[in-house]
């Protein structure tokens, strides 16, 4: 029974911070929360068949804490700001305003291998609650999968053009070709890094490609330059308490 309770405390979000708090209650719970099999299952939940053996790390707990992986009890967030020129005033052609444009990029990972990505001008306090579950109602959120390769994360997102059939019929009536994009695939490579002794706290851009599939059967791939830190800043982790406030499923 106690093991079942501990399994629910950890949950699908792998909330090991709550497990550490539970271990501080008494010696009995401390020993239960330090069981190697418990931490081994947490590692299997993250790395699956690629978990491997304890060759580098002394314990399964050390592997879970220090081996590169994304965090699941919050969001990785970056902020990008740039200046955009406005239109000249019709009263004074010499006056040209400049606008400050700010947007955020959000990444939310799930231990089952899913990831959500959203680019929005909305500030984090208005967004993170909508990324709690995979079944988000925001049409701007992209749902994808991720894989861990050492300290690198590979993410794959697919966006299907739901309005393709309507556009296709309209263009045929106008005598135009059907060169609409049927599907867009985004592949992102990032590196997991530690910040000031906090493991898995930052994601750094390493690669970004966009592949487009057109209705006429043609394909095109674009490689995006992510070396500019102003356009592609690193994403830092922010814990969201509501994500692990209650468990929806146990660890095992």
Domain boundaries, the chain: 2-66, 74-244
Which phi and psi angles does 12 have, rounded to 5°? -70, -20
For residues 107 and 149, give the distance between their C-alpha atoms in angstroms, rounded to a whole number.
18
Identify the band that residue 106 occupies on the pLDDT scale cut at 50, 70 and 90: very high
Averaged confidence pLDDT in the chain: 86
- Confidence check: pLDDT of 36 > 60: yes
For residues 170 and 145, give the distance between their C-alpha atoms in angstroms, rounded to a whole number.
34
Distances (CA, A) of 183 to 137, 142, 155, 187, 226: 20, 13, 16, 13, 23
Mention every residue, 6+ apart, whose C-beta is less than 8 A from residue 113. Answer: 145, 146, 147
* pLDDT of amino acid 90: 57
**Average pLDDT, integer, range 145-164:** 90
The DSSP string of 196-248 is TTEEEEEEEEEEEEEEEEETTS-EEEEE-----TTTSPPEEEEE-GGGGSS-S
Are 5 and 251 in contact by the 8 Å Cβ rule? The answer is no
- Confidence check: pLDDT of 155 > 60: yes
For residues 22 and 16, give the distance between their C-alpha atoms in angstroms, rounded to a whole number.
10
Q: What is the pTM of this model?
A: 0.84
Q: Bridge partners of 155?
A: 146, 188
* pLDDT of amino acid 233: 95
Residue recorded with tokens 């106690």: 2
SS3 state at 168: helix
Identify the band that residue 91 occupies on the pLDDT scale cut at 50, 70 and 90: low
Q: Where are the alpha helices (DSSP H) in 24-141?
A: 27-33, 36-47, 60-66
Cα-atom radius of gyration of the chain, to the nearest Å?
A: 23
Own/partner long-range contacts of 1-4 (Cβ < 8 Å, ≥24 apart): 2/29, 2/32, 3/32, 3/38, 4/250
* pLDDT of amino acid 139: 87
For residues 51 and 48, give the distance between their C-alpha atoms in angstroms, rounded to a whole number.
6
DSSP classification of residue 113: S
Q: Bridge partners of 117?
A: 107, 142
């Amino acid at each position: 029974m106690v093991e079942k309770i501990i399994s629910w405390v950890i949950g699908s979000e792998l909330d090991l911070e709550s497990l550490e708090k539970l271990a501080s209650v008494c010696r009995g719970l401390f020993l239960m929360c330090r069981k190697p099999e418990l931490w081994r299952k947490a590692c299997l939940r993250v790395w699956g068949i690629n978990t491997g053996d304890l060759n580098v790390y002394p314990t399964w707990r050390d592997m879970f804490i220090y081996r590169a992986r994304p965090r699941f009890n919050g969001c990785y967030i970056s902020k990008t700001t740039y200046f955009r020129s406005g239109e000249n005033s019709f009263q004074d052609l010499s006056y040209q305003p400049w606008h400050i444009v700010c947007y955020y990029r959000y990444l939310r990972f799930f231990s089952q291998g899913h990831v959500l990505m959203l680019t929005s001008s909305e500030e984090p306090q208005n967004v993170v609650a909508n990324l709690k579950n995979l079944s988000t109602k925001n049409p701007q959120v992209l749902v994808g999968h991720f894989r861990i390769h050492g300290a690198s994360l590979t993410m794959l997102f697919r966006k299907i053009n739901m309005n393709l059939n309507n556009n296709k019929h309209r263009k045929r009536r106008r005598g135009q070709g059907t060169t609409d994009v049927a599907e867009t695939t985004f592949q992102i490579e990032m590196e997991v890094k530690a910040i000031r002794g906090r493991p898995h706290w930052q994601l750094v851009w390493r690669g970004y490609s966009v592949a487009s599939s057109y209705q006429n059967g043609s394909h095109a791939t674009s490689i995006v330059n992510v070396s500019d830190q102003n356009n592609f800043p690193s994403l830092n982790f922010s814990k969201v308490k509501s994500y692990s406030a209650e468990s929806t499923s146990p660890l095992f």
